[in-house]
Chains A and B, each alone.
Chain A
């Protein structure tokens, strides 16, 4: 079944066209990768899907619902969560608080029930804590729960961002360069983690990545973007041998 459908999206910033006629179709239970040289428009695609930008042309459908013009908090409520390329944790808050905040969108108590801690809210709050702690346990962050999130080492901050995104209970998870700045060892752990959470939380994943070993190891299908144009789509093997892709990354051999 199709989960996300991006149709002919073009994104222009003034005179600059960042993405041209981008089409994407993601089925349930897939892991799809998006690669491309720097400035190819990968993050712009993410921002269009998550409602950060409204595309100049084209439309985005999630579970057959038009979300082209939805705000990013509405998109998250529908079930698309994301992480950021440059980590955006709530730095001054603790690890546990970071995850608790992601639970806020499911809070049904109104402001006054929450302030006066009426039984309905207390129950919700308890559930929130339990869920968050379970999630932290799942991602092996439990022993840092009372640390400030900015005091975590880099790799764990990335992991916490994933935990926070998972706490919104998404159906589709968008990962923006999850392996950026990681050493080979950490990258391998990350690959394992992505496969694990996919199974455990029944997720569909769409990720941007530069580390070829990670993306080739995790994704079954890859899209290649260059200068805003989709230049190739296929299995990792097909992509590796595609002349257009090699040209985009390495340039063309010219005979002088």
Chain B
């Protein structure tokens, strides 16, 4: 086994140990935030594939997340619950009786989102730069508006309530099985993207980011590869959306406005376009920061409660990141063992010199 495989295995083991510790020690509020972190890792890493690695400014992520969330919810809710939810207009025929277990529903949610990614990508990826951004932003909104207006499928603006969370992880009953699903999905997403970027296809994606004309002159079929990246990216967005639905338990179309896309884009930019480890670090820290800063809203150090103060502070923090790390925390590099070691070595070397 190569050094790379061993370090990744160690990292995965550390993550799992931390999760076990978290499961036994954290209260339910902190666990929820932990789950949200995992979901945002999935969102950010998948968005980084199309935006950071392939260099296509596609802003339809919220739409794909919505497709995943709704497909999952409609599959896992039991018929009785559906009847209670759809009191204005009944749910259409085959959907009102289906009742799937968690894992197949999760995968189908991803596939539906991938299909949506293909349908959006096929026309939109013929455009470039700003035009692509506008077109995909529009498509994302179109998906949301369709969901608002198809009352008999999505329950419109009433949303879906009481979406069940999985009670088992694979075959084991766990105290907090959703956390395991979320984090195993996040780990798989990350590994998948690392492997993809490391392959010949990943190099082709990066070539498209660097220079489209040159990439095409090297025999890379631009459109095919862009659509490929888009479909993979939206598949994982759909998986994340499904997990988000089961975490929150209630969804409605307003959750999936373009603000969600921009939140994820912000995470990707702060972490570094084209760095998976950057996306992970920034997804976790921004999600936690958003919650920790809530304390500011409630008044601190004798200041009166000022709702919205946390967003001001948050904005200041973001600005300083952009000022001091214009390419994001990690740029387009990955965190690696050697780099960490070098960081540790530097102060040590300095000390030795001083002696």
Contact = CB atoms under 8 A, between A and B. Distances in A.
A-B complex is real:
yes
B221 A101 contact: no
Interface stretch (A14-22, A115-123, A224-232, A241-249): A115-123
Contact of A102 (B195, B196, B210, B219): B219
Contacts of A73: 216-222
Interface residues of B, number: 24
Chain B contact surface mostly: helix
Contacts of B207: 90, 93, 101, 104
A102 B218 contact: yes
B199 A121 contact: yes
B195 A105 contact: no
Given A115-B196, A117-B195, A168 B219 contact: yes
A167 to B, nearest CB: 8
Given A101-B207, A103-B200, A111-B228, A76 B192 contact: no
A219 interface: no
A169 B175 CA distance: 58
Most buried by B among A76, A77, A164: A76
A88 B222 contact: no
A101 B201 contact: no
Most buried by A among B200, B203, B217: B217
Nearest to A105: B219
B332 interface: yes
Interface string A93-135: 1000100111111010101001111000100110010000000
A89 B214 contact: yes
Given A90-B206, A90-B214, A116 B195 contact: yes
B210 A90 contact: yes
B332 A101 contact: no
A108 to B, nearest CB: 10
Contact of B219 (A52, A88, A104): A104
B204 A101 contact: yes
B214 A84 contact: yes
A88 B217 CA distance: 10
A171 interface: no
A103 B200 CA distance: 9
Contacts of A164: 218
B220 A88 contact: no
A10 interface: no
Chain A contact surface mostly: helix
A92 interface: yes
A126 to B, nearest CB: 12
B217 A114 contact: no
Contacts of A82: 217
Contacts of A59: none
B31 interface: no
Contacts of A89: 210-211, 214
B49 to A, nearest CB: 12
A168 B199 contact: no
B217 A72 contact: yes
A68 interface: no
Contacts of A111: 201, 228
Nearest to A164: B218
B214 A88 contact: yes
B213 interface: yes
Nearest to A114: B199
Given A93-B206, A93-B207, A105 B201 contact: no
Given A73-B222, A102-B218, A92 B201 contact: no
B348 to A, nearest CB: 26
Interface of B: 192, 195-196, 199-201, 203-204, 206-207, 210-211, 213-222, 228, 332
The list of the 9 closest CB pairs from A to B, nearest first, reads A105-B219, A90-B210, A76-B219, A88-B214, A114-B199, A101-B207, A102-B218, A104-B204, A72-B216
